[in-house]
A and B are shown apart, each in its own frame.
Chain A
Amino acid sequence: MTDPTPPAPAGRPALAPRWVPGRLRGPVGNRHALAGVVFVALALFPAIRPHDTYRQTVLLLAFLLAIEASSWNIISGYAGYISLGHGAFLGLGAYTAGIVATRLDVHPLLIAPLGGVVAVVAAVLLGLVVLRSRGHAFVIITIALLFATQVLVVNLRSLTGGSDGITLPLPSWPAEFQNIPFYYLFLGLLGLTVLLSGWIRRTRFGTGLLAIRDDEGKAAAIGVHTTRYKVLAYACSAFFIGVAGSVYAYFLTFLNPLGAFSILTSVTIVLAVLVGGRGSLYGPVLGAFVVQIGSEQATVYGGSSQSRVLIFGIALVAVVLFLPAGAVPTAAAWWHRRHPATVEYIDQAGALARGQLARPDRTTPTGTDPAVDPAVDPAVDPEAAPARAAGQPRLVVRDRAPQAEPQRRALLEISGLTKAFGGLVAVDGADLTVRRGTVTGLIGPNGSGKTTLFNLVGGALRADAGEIRFDGRRIDRLRPWQRGHLGIGRTFQLTRLFKSMTVLENVVAPLPDARWRALLSGAVSGPEAARARDLLDFVGLGRFAGQPAGSLSYGQQKLVELAQALMLDPRLVLLDEPAGGVNPSLVARLVEIVRDLNAQGVTFLVVEHNIPMVLELCDPVVVFARGRVIAEGRPELIRRDPAVLDAYLGEDWRPPAEPADPEPAEPKGVR
Chain B
Amino acid sequence: MIEFVQAVLLGLLIGGVYALMSSGLTLIFGVLGIVNVAQGAFLVLAAMLTWWLWHSTGIDPLLAALLLTPVMFGFGWLLYRTAIVRVRGMPASMSVLLTFGLALTIEGILNVTAGNRFRSATPSYFDESFRVGALNLPKPQVFGFLAATAVLAALYLILTRTWTGRAIRACAQNPSGAALVGVAATGTAALAFALGTATTGVGGSIMSVLYPFFPASHYDWISRLLGIIVLGGMGSMPGALVGSLVLGLAETLTATYGSLQWSTLVFYAVIVVVLLVRPQGLFGARLREDALP
Contact = CB atoms under 8 A, between A and B. Distances in A.
B272 A130 contact: yes
Contacts, number: 152
B261 A151 contact: yes
A109 B79 CA distance: 48
A479 interface: yes
A147 B268 contact: yes
A134 B93 CA distance: 10
B191 to A, nearest CB: 22
Interface in B62-113: 83, 86-87, 90-98, 100-109, 111-112
Contact of A147 (B98, B106, B112, B223): B223
A133 B93 CA distance: 13
B275 interface: yes
Contacts of A552: none
B12 interface: no
Nearest to A76: B93
A446 to B, nearest CB: 16
Interface residues of A, number: 56
B157 to A, nearest CB: 27
Interface in B260-293: 261-262, 264-265, 267-269, 271-272, 275-276, 279, 285-286, 288, 290-293
Interface in A138-197: 138-141, 143-145, 147-148, 151-152, 154-155
B116 interface: yes
Contacts of A139: 35, 92-93, 96
Contacts of B286: 421-422
Contacts of A84: 96-97, 100
A460 B275 contact: no
A267 B97 CA distance: 9
A220 B97 contact: no
B226 interface: yes
A447 to B, nearest CB: 13
A148 B269 contact: yes
Contacts of A349: none
A312 B269 contact: no
A109 B168 CA distance: 58
Interface string A281-318: 00000000000000000000000011111111111110
Contact of B223 (A82, A133, A144, A308): A144
A61 to B, nearest CB: 20
A543 interface: no
B108 A310 contact: yes
A358 interface: no
Contacts of B285: 422
B35 A455 contact: no
Nearest to B29: A136
A270 B261 CA distance: 30
A461 interface: yes
A317 B38 CA distance: 12
A320 interface: yes
B104 A316 contact: yes
Contact of A316 (B97, B112, B275, B279): B97
A248 to B, nearest CB: 23
Contacts of A133: 275-276, 279
A216 interface: yes
B219 interface: yes
Interface SS of chain A: helix, strand, loop or mixed?
helix
B230 interface: yes
Interface string A259-276: 000010001001000100
A226 B261 contact: no
Contacts of A305: 112
Interface in A80-134: 80, 82, 84, 129-130, 132-134
A151 B293 contact: no
B106 A136 contact: no
Nearest to B227: A144
Interface residues of B, number: 52
A217 B292 CA distance: 8
Nearest to B115: A306
A310 B275 contact: no
Nearest to A82: B93
Contacts of A321: 83, 86-87, 98
A468 B83 CA distance: 49
A462 interface: yes
Contacts of B96: 82, 84, 136, 139-140
A500 to B, nearest CB: 13
A267 B100 contact: yes
A137 interface: yes
A324 interface: yes
Interface in A298-347: 305-317, 319-321, 324
A79 B92 CA distance: 15
Given A137-B279, A151-B265, A151-B268, A421 B109 contact: no
A135 interface: yes
A462 B86 CA distance: 35
Contact of A314 (B105, B226, B264): B105
A308 B111 CA distance: 9
A133 B264 CA distance: 23
Interface in A184-239: 216-217, 220, 226
Nearest to B109: A310
A133 B115 CA distance: 39
B272 A461 contact: no
A581 to B, nearest CB: 20
A148 B108 contact: no
B108 A460 contact: no
A130 B275 CA distance: 9
Contacts of B272: 129-130, 141, 144-145, 148
B100 A316 contact: yes
Given A133-B276, A144-B268, A320 B219 contact: no
Contact of A479 (B87, B223, B293): B293
Contacts of A317: 83, 98, 101-102, 105
A130 B219 CA distance: 22
A249 B108 CA distance: 29
Nearest to A315: B101
Interface string B210-225: 0000010001000100
Given A145-B268, A320-B94, A461-B290, A313 B279 contact: no
Contacts of A314: 101, 105, 108
A306 B92 contact: no
A84 B93 CA distance: 9
A309 B276 contact: no
Contacts of B83: 317, 321
A278 to B, nearest CB: 10
Contacts of A144: 223, 226-227, 267-268, 271-272
B116 A313 contact: no
Given A136-B92, A151-B268, A130 B98 contact: no
Contact of B262 (A155, A220, A461): A155
Interface of B: 35, 83, 86-87, 90-98, 100-109, 111-112, 115-116, 215, 219, 223, 226-227, 230, 261-262, 264-265, 267-269, 271-272, 275-276, 279, 285-286, 288, 290-293
21 contacts: A129-B272, A129-B276, A132-B276, A139-B92, A139-B93, A140-B275, A144-B226, A144-B227, A144-B267, A148-B268, A148-B272, A307-B108, A309-B111, A309-B215, A312-B104, A313-B103, A313-B107, A315-B101, A317-B101, A422-B286, A479-B293
Given A311-B108, A422-B288, 5 more contacts: A129-B276, A140-B226, A141-B271, A148-B265, A313-B105
Query: Can you list the 9 inter-chain pairs with the closest CB atoms, starting with the nearest?
Result: A310-B108, A313-B104, A316-B101, A313-B105, A82-B93, A136-B92, A317-B101, A148-B268, A144-B271
